[in-house]
Amino acid sequence: MTGIKNVFAIAWREIRAYFATPVGWLCLCAFMAISAVFFVAVLGLYNMQATEMQFNPYAGTEMNIDEYLVAPFFGNTTVILLFICPALSMRLFSEDRKTKSLELLLTSPVTTTEIVLGKYLGAVGFLAIILLCTGHYPLQLVLLGEPDPGVIASSYLAVFLLGSCFMAVGLLFSSMTENQIVALVLSFVTLLGFWILGWVEELASGTLQEVVGYASLINRMEDMTKGLIHTKDLVYYVTFICFWLFATHQRVEAYRWR
């Protein structure tokens, strides 16, 4: 029970730190501004396509708000997270190492697991707050038409899981350096590599295509944005997160023996 309290105490400290630093507010405002631009662009494209299809009685029934509005919007949201998550995760350990507060944290009565989980949950908690700030967009879609609530819910789950994976990667690189900019660059380059795997799958064939498709983070969320939640996709995301958290745990644990 004490361990759980320590984890949530560290997580709450990290969430408050985001609201006490310019980086947290900058990422939040940037996310809201860019997502608003994407939403307006997708909405405008939908209206233009709907107008064109009015003159085609066979294509008019193909206009689906889930396919033409919900899926593109959440797809664009993942692009924003590719840039936002490294910026949010870069300070988690780097700042503590630079200010020498990590040594104090390691000598306190908390385990390495509690430290890693606490910082990760704090980052993921702030990510959840950011995503909740976009809740007015689905409400606007309800006013425009009749979107499937299940598709919206599964799309939010897909974006949250993907962002959680991004945070786990950033957490490891933050623990490896005192320089936050270095942590940001390493995180972004690594995540960009996973992102490119989705493009490689389209160009590859045979066994290579299967391997690349299995490792791709982006491709696994395509079904979820359509309202289809597969156990294998959930297991993949959870396994991906656990792997990077374990690597972070090993890195932080090494500091105890210095």
Q: How far is CA 246 from the centre of its chain?
A: 18
pLDDT for res 57: 60
pTM of structure: 0.89
Burial class from Cβ neighbours inside 10 Å (0-12, 13-18, 19+) for residue 85 reads: buried
Task: Please report which residue ranges of 21-146 form alpha helices under DSSP H.
Answer: 22-53, 65, 71-89, 91-98, 101-106, 112-132, 136-144
Residue with tokens 């690594």, as numbered in its chain: 190
Please state, in angstroms and rounded to a whole number, the distance separating the CA atoms of residues 112 and 130.
27
Query: In this model, does residue 61 exceed pLDDT 90?
Result: no
Please state, in angstroms and rounded to a whole number, the distance separating the CA atoms of residues 21 and 14.
11
pLDDT for res 102: 79
Task: Give the domain range for residue 91.
Answer: 2-255
Please state, in angstroms and rounded to a whole number, the distance separating the CA atoms of residues 34 and 73.
11
Please state, in angstroms and rounded to a whole number, the distance separating the CA atoms of residues 28 and 48.
30
Residue 94 is which amino acid?
S
Percent of the chain whose pLDDT exceeds 70: 86
Residue 91 is which amino acid?
R
pLDDT, mean over the chain? 84
Categorize the per-residue pLDDT at 126 as very low, low, confident or very high, splitting at 50, 70 and 90.
Answer: very high
227-234, long-range: CB within 8 Å, 24+ apart, which pairs?
227/66, 227/148, 227/150, 227/151, 227/154, 228/154, 229/154, 229/157, 234/161
Comparing CA positions, the residue from 7, 26, 25 lying closest to residue 119 is: 7
As for how many domains the chain has, the answer is: 1
Contact 53, 84 (CB under 8 A): no
Instruction: List pLDDT tens digits, range 166-221.
Output: 999 999 999 888 889 999 999 999 998 888 876 666 665 666 666 666 667 777 78
